[in-house]
Protein backbone atom coordinates (compact mmCIF):
# COMPACT_ATOMS: atom_id res chain seq x y z
CA UNK A 1 0.00 0.00 0.00
CA UNK A 2 1.30 3.40 -0.97
CA UNK A 3 1.88 5.76 1.93
CA UNK A 4 1.21 9.47 2.22
CA UNK A 5 4.22 11.72 2.80
CA UNK A 6 3.42 13.32 6.15
CA UNK A 7 4.83 16.60 7.39
CA UNK A 8 4.19 17.16 11.09
CA UNK A 9 4.46 20.65 12.57
CA UNK A 10 3.08 19.59 15.98
CA UNK A 11 6.21 19.84 18.11
CA UNK A 12 4.23 19.14 21.31
CA UNK A 13 3.46 15.59 20.10
CA UNK A 14 5.56 12.66 21.31
CA UNK A 15 5.68 11.32 17.73
CA UNK A 16 7.08 14.56 16.27
CA UNK A 17 10.47 14.02 14.63
CA UNK A 18 12.89 16.99 14.53
CA UNK A 19 12.81 16.98 10.71
CA UNK A 20 9.05 17.77 10.87
CA UNK A 21 8.20 14.15 10.18
CA UNK A 22 5.91 11.75 12.03
CA UNK A 23 7.45 8.83 13.88
CA UNK A 24 4.17 6.98 14.46
CA UNK A 25 3.86 3.89 12.28
CA UNK A 26 0.26 4.82 11.50
CA UNK A 27 -1.78 7.94 12.14
CA UNK A 28 -5.54 8.33 12.30
CA UNK A 29 -7.14 11.49 10.92
CA UNK A 30 -10.63 12.13 12.29
CA UNK A 31 -13.36 14.35 10.89
CA UNK A 32 -14.26 16.98 13.50
CA UNK A 33 -17.14 19.04 12.03
CA UNK A 34 -15.53 21.57 9.66
CA UNK A 35 -11.96 20.33 9.94
CA UNK A 36 -9.91 17.15 10.33
CA UNK A 37 -7.63 16.43 13.29
CA UNK A 38 -4.78 14.01 13.99
CA UNK A 39 -6.27 11.57 16.49
CA UNK A 40 -2.87 9.90 16.97
CA UNK A 41 -1.58 13.00 18.79
CA UNK A 42 0.04 12.09 22.09
CA UNK A 43 1.55 14.85 24.23
CA UNK A 44 5.29 14.90 24.65
CA UNK A 45 4.73 15.67 28.34
CA UNK A 46 2.24 13.01 29.49
CA UNK A 47 1.76 14.83 32.79
CA UNK A 48 -0.09 17.59 30.92
CA UNK A 49 -2.52 15.37 29.00
CA UNK A 50 -6.15 16.24 29.88
CA UNK A 51 -8.70 13.43 29.75
CA UNK A 52 -12.23 14.19 28.51
CA UNK A 53 -11.79 17.88 29.32
CA UNK A 54 -11.56 17.11 33.01
CA UNK A 55 -8.69 17.92 35.30
CA UNK A 56 -7.58 14.28 35.24
CA UNK A 57 -4.17 13.38 33.82
CA UNK A 58 -3.60 10.50 31.39
CA UNK A 59 -0.87 7.97 32.04
CA UNK A 60 1.41 6.20 29.62
CA UNK A 61 -1.00 3.27 29.35
CA UNK A 62 -3.12 5.37 26.95
CA UNK A 63 -0.25 5.72 24.51
CA UNK A 64 -0.30 3.94 21.16
CA UNK A 65 2.60 1.50 21.15
CA UNK A 66 3.13 1.61 17.37
CA UNK A 67 6.11 3.84 16.69
CA UNK A 68 8.58 4.12 13.86
CA UNK A 69 11.19 1.87 15.44
CA UNK A 70 8.80 -0.57 17.10
CA UNK A 71 10.40 -3.40 15.09
CA UNK A 72 13.74 -2.62 16.78
CA UNK A 73 12.34 -3.55 20.21
CA UNK A 74 12.63 -0.01 21.56
CA UNK A 75 10.51 0.95 24.55
CA UNK A 76 7.57 2.86 23.03
CA UNK A 77 7.01 4.75 26.28
CA UNK A 78 10.42 6.39 25.76
CA UNK A 79 10.23 8.53 22.62
CA UNK A 80 13.79 9.84 22.88
CA UNK A 81 14.98 7.38 20.19
CA UNK A 82 13.03 9.21 17.46
CA UNK A 83 15.51 12.05 17.71
CA UNK A 84 18.29 9.78 16.55
CA UNK A 85 19.08 9.44 12.88
CA UNK A 86 18.27 5.71 12.68
CA UNK A 87 14.46 6.04 12.82
CA UNK A 88 13.42 3.61 10.09
CA UNK A 89 9.81 4.51 9.26
CA UNK A 90 8.98 8.19 9.06
CA UNK A 91 6.21 7.85 6.48
CA UNK A 92 3.22 6.52 8.41
CA UNK A 93 0.14 4.95 6.93
CA UNK A 94 -2.59 7.62 7.15
CA UNK A 95 -5.98 6.17 7.97
CA UNK A 96 -8.86 8.61 7.88
CA UNK A 97 -12.58 8.71 8.62
CA UNK A 98 -13.18 12.09 6.91
CA UNK A 99 -15.27 10.48 4.18
CA UNK A 100 -16.30 13.89 2.84
CA UNK A 101 -12.67 14.72 1.93
CA UNK A 102 -11.69 14.38 -1.72
CA UNK A 103 -8.58 12.40 -0.70
CA UNK A 104 -10.53 9.82 1.34
CA UNK A 105 -10.91 6.32 -0.08
CA UNK A 106 -12.10 3.42 2.06
CA UNK A 107 -10.73 4.86 5.33
CA UNK A 108 -7.29 5.62 3.86
CA UNK A 109 -5.85 8.99 2.80
CA UNK A 110 -4.95 8.93 -0.89
CA UNK A 111 -3.23 12.34 -0.97
CA UNK A 112 0.42 12.17 -1.98
CA UNK A 113 1.32 14.37 0.97
CA UNK A 114 -0.32 16.01 3.97
CA UNK A 115 0.69 18.48 6.65
CA UNK A 116 -0.49 18.18 10.23
CA UNK A 117 -0.36 21.50 12.07
CA UNK A 118 -1.05 22.68 15.60
CA UNK A 119 1.96 24.47 17.08
CA UNK A 120 0.50 24.73 20.58
CA UNK A 121 -1.54 21.51 20.60
CA UNK A 122 -2.36 20.03 23.99
CA UNK A 123 -4.97 17.55 22.71
CA UNK A 124 -5.73 16.03 19.32
CA UNK A 125 -8.56 18.54 18.79
CA UNK A 126 -5.91 21.28 18.63
CA UNK A 127 -4.31 19.72 15.54
CA UNK A 128 -5.36 20.18 11.91
CA UNK A 129 -4.87 18.17 8.76
CA UNK A 130 -4.15 21.02 6.35
CA UNK A 131 -4.87 18.83 3.30
CA UNK A 132 -8.49 18.20 4.38
CA UNK A 133 -10.65 19.28 1.46
CA UNK A 134 -14.37 18.48 1.68
CA UNK A 135 -16.01 17.80 -1.66
The segments of the chain whose pLDDT lies below 70 read: 1-2, 46-89
Tell me whether residue 135 is in a domain.
no
Supply the pTM of this predicted model.
0.69
Considering the domain boundaries, does residue 134 fall inside one?
A: no
- DSSP-assigned letters across all residues of 6-69: EEE--TTBTTEETTTEE-BSEEEEEEETTEEEETT--BSSGGG-EETTEEEEP-GGGS---BTT
**Residue 106 DSSP code:** T
Total number of domains constituting the chain:
1
At residue 47, the pLDDT reads: 58
Would you say residue 25 lies in a domain? yes
- Domain range spanning residue 92? 5-129
Instruction: Write down the pLDDT at residue 29.
Output: 95
Does the residue 29 lie in any domain?
A: yes
78 CB contacts (<8 Å, ≥6 apart)? none
Amino acid sequence: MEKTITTCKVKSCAYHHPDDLCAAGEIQVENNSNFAVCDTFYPRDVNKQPVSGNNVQAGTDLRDSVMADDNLGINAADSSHIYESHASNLTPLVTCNADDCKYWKHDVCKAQEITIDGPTAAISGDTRCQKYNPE
